[in-house]
Amino acid sequence: MKKIGEINFDKVVLDCKNPVILSDFYVNLLGWHKGYETDDFIIIYSEKCNVNIGFQRNEMYVAPVWPEEVNKQQQMLHLDFSMEKAKLQEWINYALELGARKADIQYGDWAVMLDPEGHPFCFDVV
């Protein structure tokens, strides 16, 4: 096949009912910055990495069930963030203060969390 040209991965976009609330959660959690912003779409970015996170208003958004259950809304993706093992509990506590909740079922020595709109994300240890 003929190569068309270069293509770059730019961002992950999360559907949500309220992009302001969800983007504020991740800005505070990650220490990132807001970039592009409208009432229905917000992008946050970090000066340290080349991938952005977008938050898109979707009035029909339904939070996924974690862990998955038959005939329930399934997760489409989840975000992973890594930190030193010694700091894991501090990060969990911080995320809880910001409005996350810890998933009822946990696997392994990482933490499965749910953001304020129910998207799963993980704190992985390195």
pLDDT digits (tens, 9 = 90+) for 78-105: 899 999 999 999 999 999 999 999 999 9
d(CA 113, CA 69): 17
pLDDT at 73: 74
Residue 71 has pLDDT above 80, yes or no: no
Is there a single domain that holds both residue 45 and residue 78? no
pLDDT band at 67 (very low <50, low <70, confident <90, very high): confident
Phi, psi of 104 (to 5 degrees): -65, -35
Is there a single domain that holds both residue 50 and residue 76? no
Is there a single domain that holds both residue 54 and residue 69? no
Q: No. of H helices and E strands in the chain?
A: 2, 8
CATH for 54: 3.30.720.120
Number of domains in the chain: 2
Boundaries of domain holding 23: 9-58
90 domain-assigned: yes
Per-chain mean pLDDT for the chain = 93
pLDDT band at 7 (very low <50, low <70, confident <90, very high): confident
Q: Is 20 exposed, middle or buried (0-12, 13-18, 19+ CB in 10 A)?
A: middle
Residues 22/16, Cβ–Cβ less than 8 Å: yes
Task: Specify the amino acid at residue 79.
Answer: L
Is there a single domain that holds both residue 124 and residue 69? yes
